[in-house]
Amino acid sequence: MIIKTGLISRVAFSIAGIDIYWYAILIVSAIVIGIIWSRIKSGRYNIKFDTILDLSIFMIPTAILCARVYYIIFNLNYYISNPSEILDFRNGGLAIYGGIIGAVAPIIVFCKIKKISILNLTDYIAPIIPLGQAIGRWGNYINIEAYGTETNLPLKMEIIENGITKYVHPTFLYESVGNFILFLILLKISKKRNFSGQITLLYFIGYAFIRFFIEGLRTDSLMMGNIRASQLLSLIIFIACTLIYIIFAKKQKKQTISTKKGDGPWNKNQGPSPFYKISLHILVDKNAKNVIFCRTKNDWKHSKIGSFVDYYNFICYPKYSIYIK
């Protein structure tokens, strides 16, 4: 299968003589879809939709700006010679890792001000990020950029360079499909989150894995000497997040409370240990007056009280009082 290029004009339409590019439309579409998704999933992990809207006001501009700055830094000589193009976003030139870096600072500051869990917030928005990336990569196709080296594989993209027809790896398609699959995986896992930060870590692990291999095929990589910057960063992120994930998962396993009498910090005769931090499945009645601890899904399936609530962080105090953080 040969993917033809140049079939779609980079300019979608013009308003008052100003060209509107497909690249920009796709980015805006990804943002809108993200906001709609946040509205649908409102309430998950105790994150309200209004919180996401407030965060977006600061996070989106910062992320786009940093994505541009990141790209310019690694093409500094070109932009020194062509300073008028520094703010020309319409021709592409946004680096996803720069965007991620630019989103981190607003999230941290916002969570500190609002006094909400950073990991709960990032887990809330993490699944939709790869979907936005999958959509945005088609802007690379329309702009005929971010393609790979020449290939003889059945699936290839046709480009014309200096009047010469070449067949190259459609890396935009590889990454778009990979990100969409990652989106589906995160969406599935987010319904059964085991600990705070799990979805965030899985996003970074998954995307770093995808990007590491695809970056090796691209011909327009941002370079640090002879090293592909995004490939190196992907490797570092993959290793670091995998190690952190393993640590968090082991910690979660140790903290899970058993419902057996006398097993763990919750003792039916003595009550909970003072100030003991735990994470567990719980059942609550409709009025949230009673809490029943459960070890497995089978425990709460056979209970007639309440409804299942996802993992939360708790502090147990004497006299059987439970305070949700």
pLDDT digit string (tens) for 72-131? 988 888 889 888 888 877 666 788 888 888 988 899 999 998 888 899 889 999 999 999
Nearest of 32, 36, 23, 40 to residue 140 by alpha carbon: 23
The pLDDT, as a whole number, for residue 256 is 55
Q: How far is CA 244 from CA 1, 116, 122, 185, in A?
A: 41, 21, 15, 19
pLDDT of 191 > 60? The answer is: yes
Q: What is the pLDDT of residues 195-236, one digit of tens each?
A: 889 999 999 999 999 999 999 999 888 888 888 989 999 999
The pLDDT, as a whole number, for residue 292 is 46
Q: Comparing 40 with 44, which gets the higher pLDDT?
A: 40
Q: Is 291 left (phi over 0), alpha (psi -120 to 50) or beta?
A: beta
The pLDDT, as a whole number, for residue 316 is 38
Task: Report residue 255's pLDDT band, with 50, 70 and 90 as the boundaries.
Answer: low
For the segment 160-177, the average pLDDT, to the nearest whole number, is 92
Task: Report residue 266's pLDDT band, with 50, 70 and 90 as the boundaries.
Answer: very low
Domain boundaries of the chain, sorted by first residue: 2-253, 266-324
For the segment 267-271, the average pLDDT, to the nearest whole number, is 41
Give the burial class of 213: count Cβ atoms within 10 A of its Cβ; 0-12 exposed, 13-18 middle, 19 or more buried.
Answer: middle
pLDDT of 158 > 70? The answer is: yes
pTM of the model: 0.74
The pLDDT, as a whole number, for residue 62 is 92
